[in-house]
Amino acid sequence: MTDFEPILVSEEVVAGYLPGVDILNGVDLTLGDGELVGIIGPNGAGKSTLVKAIFGLVTVRSGVVLLRGEDISNLAAHELVARGVGYVPQRENVFSTLTVEENLRMGLYLRPEIWDERLAAVHELFPLLADRKHQRAGFLSGGERQMLAMGRALMMDPRMILLDEPSAGLSPANQDLVFERVRQICDSGVSIIMVEQNARRCLQICDRAYVLEQGKNAHTGAGRDLLHDPKVIDLYLGTLGRAD
């Protein structure tokens, strides 16, 4: 369990895409206020499905998702955004024909009055987005797009964000930068759930993590403890894990 006051709780969540086929088979997860929680697990384990179910993009068939104690299961995504929840999808997370600045404006459609203040905050975090403000997002590198996608989610000044594989497809240097920024965003007071394929780096920076397997909780604990857990090392970190 978390030492933090829970902000988001998923209890026994069952969800899926096709009738009669459940992908999540009763997943429990708690995100504390101010916490960075990682989700790792093999391809197809249901990691993306879990964040989509939390964000109202996949139907929760049973179980419940609570935001500060309020049942938000199956609320539409825009209602969650209005309640301070942000989401950065795994793929296609920017509008490539729009400029960097237009993408950021899309992130703020519900509260245009806070534009100046939020733009300054996002530019401070990702100065590159100020330098490239008139460039079309389609011309950005993978790393730059990822910064833009995170910047867009942060425009609404969310209390928590869901990040689906922020480091996927990035060079090692850009991965380091993204992880550094994720930690920094969390330290600035935004609670974060981060799905990651880079299990080692994820466990190194997160407060706690959940390992999902076949739509179920397999392991959970403090990031640093899981990093040294022989079961997790064998399955997810490879033999190099032992050297850490």
Ligand X SMILES: Nc1ncnc2c1ncn2[C@@H]1O[C@H](COP(=O)(O)OP(=O)(O)OP(=O)(O)O)[C@@H](O)[C@H]1O
What Cα–Cα distance (Å) separates residue 214 from each residue in 11, 14, 88?
17, 12, 23
Closer residue to ligand X (CB): 46 or 56: 46
**Could you tell me which stretch among 25-33, 36-44, 130-138, 231-239 binds ligand X (CB under 6 A)?**
36-44
Residue with tokens 């994720």: 182
* Interface pattern 163-182 for Mg ion (x via CB under 5 A): --------------------
Footprint (CB under 6 A) of ligand X, residues 149-208: 197
Q: Does 43 bind ligand X (CB under 6 A)?
A: yes
**Could you tell me which stretch among 43-51, 64-72, 134-142, 203-211 binds ligand X (CB under 6 A)?**
43-51
Buried b (16+ CB within 10 A) or exposed e, 31-58: bbebbbbbbbbbeebbbbbbbbbbbbbb
The one among 10, 30, 48, 73 contacting Mg ion by CB under 5 A: 48
What Cα–Cα distance (Å) separates residue 12 from each residue in 49, 110, 217?
14, 32, 10
Buried b (16+ CB within 10 A) or exposed e, 117-141: ebbebbbebbebbeebeeebbeebe
Which of ligand X, Mg ion, none lies near 18, with the C-beta cut-off 5 to 8 A by kind?
A: ligand X
Let me know: does 8 contact 66? Beta carbons within 8 Å: yes
Q: In the complex, what is the shortest distance from the CB of residue 48 to ligand X, in angstroms, rounded to a whole number?
A: 3
Footprint (CB under 6 A) of ligand X, residues 90-149: 90
Let me know: does 215 contact 46? Beta carbons within 8 Å: yes
Closer residue to ligand X (CB): 108 or 170: 170
Number of residues binding to ligand X, judged by CB under 6 A = 13
Q: Does 73 bind Mg ion (CB under 5 A)?
A: no
- Residues lying near ligand X in the complex (CB under 6 A) are found at 17-18, 23, 41, 43-49, 90, 197
Q: Which residues bind Mg ion (CB under 5 A)?
A: 47-48, 90
